[in-house]
Structure 1
């Protein structure tokens, strides 16, 4: 008999060397993405005398990653995750080094753009890769705790990224780009080491009696992701989640300025969100297995609470209430991220896991980008209100996509 999620203790995860190897590799692979916005602009200023090329390369990278991630994920699925995931990351590291060399010799902008497209496409499946590798490193009952802890750790990576850029810049103009390549390469090496993946069998459907636990209520995955209603539900959750989070993070500065406040106040709003998210992730990892609601029910409740938090910000009643809105939004971020990632794994066919998670990452990114687009055409309060509206639409579609099996 295998342990259920309610029987797994957090201490078991924290003593698992395989999990920490995965975590270190994953954070090293993620770090370059968080370094990129500052690194590209800084290197562009230092070597080319203008931030424009850096901004262009960042935009190209984001578009290339979003468009190519599902395709790259499917290729890795077909070639074999264990063998080709580290190789694709290693190729991406080499391409990043090539970009650093091209910057150093002040190559034409078109050449720099081409190099960015190459490494972005090669490494675009990284989000799906790390999630699949986690599923092969820890058992399914331990996954919710592993994902919750990871949701807290990633907040530290976001904080570290600007300092990593500043430190790497001390070693020369292309230092940040070289550091990004090294991070990716070391992460690939850790995934390649023996024991990095223990090939834990894919999760099997649980009996009906276990539906109320935190273990997902698996739909039988079909061959097509796009004809799988349960997967489409989690796809919409990813979009709504990204939109709400993007609304808060992108809208913090214009909101602060519209209230006559400075940049420091906007930073404080984001800090409140990040601190709440990190804390909630650890609490969910510790006590989340006591929640008896299904993952679908948890997602609906958490999305509703996140929308309410953003609405509290949008009404701009007072500065304390705005801060409470940011804090509450952060408090619900790590739990819903955990629930979404765990449950989606049961809705994706075993032979399309990297692709499936890569598409979810893309959906999350599109939701985030939607917030920025709406800021360009709406007032700040309207931008926040739009985040609430998009979530209400997703919640309204839930009954159509998630149906209880007959007889329940």
Structure 2
């Protein structure tokens, strides 16, 4: 990163010669962590939907299914920042190895209990370690990019690429989970998710040469600062909570809607369309040389997200719901990419994995609250009432973002950021 960062690299982004995806992917050693990282990212895309489909099948209640998925999401959200902090301090491999093993065992236990028609409290008990042990591979990959590209204009491209990769998992994951749960066995989605996590996580952890370095005493080579102490990060956390409400509300709402019309297999297709819109928009965002400052871009993108998400509950046909889902997906990517890119300029290097996990955890927490609320609405009101949740979540988050957007503005004075052992440079964040 340049010693003076202005407007989230907006000046660099306006440069038409900014490096693209092709040059990024030719970065030496990148594929060694990208491929296993993609497999290990599947929990975030498959876990919630797999739990909803399995528990709804065994209990007949979307409320129980949503509540179980919500416990998993809350556990993930609470433990993710702590996992990121440990990874910053002791190394990613040290955190990943026990984590993926615990997740595989906990996922298998939750599956067995659901199939055995265990009481809800038992499902909750198994859901806690299942969510808490979800490996935070996405933030870890972003931190590896930061190490490899620390002085390169490719960092902005890497931020866009990672958001596109996240969205690709949300295309593949829900389709795979729905296909497995509806055509093979209701438990197949959760079992496959645990297996992918285990294999992908172990392979990712094996790539020791690309992980951010730590010194012999186990302390990160950069100053340890709590990411949540940065005011801008707290604003982004609220913003990402609203994005999580879209993911959770869409998952439950689409599952209930397709079940009500006798076409449960369309659930994965409709969610895939939503995620595909997100992915395509993300690709475009990474290719555009932006001239709009990031704070304004975040607000404008979130306005579009709130407007499109607010229309979901009015859809009463598959085609209309598919079209609206595509638009909602296209509105999410700009907010995600801008938020993750702002972290690069708001947070010192030694706390970036933690910062990324706070945002990832916020999405998980928003998703958890959304699935349980949407599940209750589906049980108590009409089919499709779960779509009210994305509307409420995005509108509330937008109000917060607009009110507190000054915390994402340029700082008048420089701040010191570590750039390796014994080197600190002043950074001005616009």
TM over 0.5: yes
Measured after TM superposition, the shift of residue 304 of structure 1 is 0.9
Structure 2: distance between partners of 1:246 and 1:151: 16
| Contact 1:151 1:338 (8 Å CA) reproduced | no
2:410 aligned with 1:404: yes
Structure 2: distance between partners of 1:406 and 1:321: 47
**RMSD of the alignment, in Å?**
4.6
2:105 aligned with 1:95: yes
Structure 2: distance between partners of 1:352 and 1:153: 26
Paired residues for 1:270-309 under 5 Å: 270-285=271-286, 287-288=287-288, 290-309=289-308
Structure 2 segments unaligned to the other structure (5+ residues): 3-8, 215-222, 414-429
| Contact 1:239 1:364 (8 Å CA) reproduced | yes
Aligned residue number for residue 211 of structure 1: none
Q: Which residue, 67, 75, 80 being the options, matches 1:69? A: 80
Q: Which residue, 146, 158, 176 being the options, matches 2:161? A: 146
Q: Which residue, 368, 389, 392 being the options, matches 1:386? A: 392
Shifted more, 354-363 versus 94-103: the winner is 94-103
Aligned residue number for residue 198 of structure 2: 185
Q: Which residue, 230, 233, 236 being the options, matches 2:235? A: 233
Measured after TM superposition, the shift of residue 41 of structure 1 is 7.5
For residues 309-352 of structure 1, give each alpha carbon's deviation from its aligned partner in whole angstroms, at most 9, with x where no partner exists.
12344566998776543322111222322222222233233333
Q: Which residue, 2, 16, 22 being the options, matches 2:33? A: 22
| Contact 1:13 1:145 (8 Å CA) reproduced | no
- The secondary structure found in structure 2 opposite 1:189 is helix
Q: Evaluate the alpha carbon distance shift between residue 97 and residue 392 of structure 1 in structure 2; reply closer, same or farther with a 3 A threshold.
A: closer
Q: Evaluate the alpha carbon distance shift between residue 126 and residue 394 of structure 1 in structure 2; reply closer, same or farther with a 3 A threshold.
A: same
Q: Evaluate the alpha carbon distance shift between residue 20 and residue 157 of structure 1 in structure 2; reply closer, same or farther with a 3 A threshold.
A: farther
Structure 2: distance between partners of 1:328 and 1:17: 36
Q: Evaluate the alpha carbon distance shift between residue 25 and residue 85 of structure 1 in structure 2; reply closer, same or farther with a 3 A threshold.
A: farther
Measured after TM superposition, the shift of residue 166 of structure 1 is 7.2
Structure 1: distance between partners of 2:284 and 2:188: 37
Measured after TM superposition, the shift of residue 298 of structure 1 is 1.5
Aligned residue number for residue 324 of structure 2: 325
| Contact 1:68 1:124 (8 Å CA) reproduced | no
Q: Which residue, 121, 125, 132 being the options, matches 2:132? A: 121
Shifted more, 55-64 versus 104-113: the winner is 104-113
2:307 aligned with 1:311: no
Measured after TM superposition, the shift of residue 159 of structure 1 is 2.2
Paired residues for 1:72-221 under 5 Å: 72-81=83-92, 83-92=93-102, 95-96=105-106, 99=109, 116-123=127-134, 125-136=136-147, 140-154=155-169, 155-163=171-179, 179-194=192-207, 197=210, 199=212
Aligned residues, how many? 380
- The secondary structure found in structure 2 opposite 1:291 is coil
Q: Evaluate the alpha carbon distance shift between residue 126 and residue 265 of structure 1 in structure 2; reply closer, same or farther with a 3 A threshold.
A: closer
Q: Evaluate the alpha carbon distance shift between residue 198 and residue 369 of structure 1 in structure 2; reply closer, same or farther with a 3 A threshold.
A: closer
Measured after TM superposition, the shift of residue 305 of structure 1 is 1.1
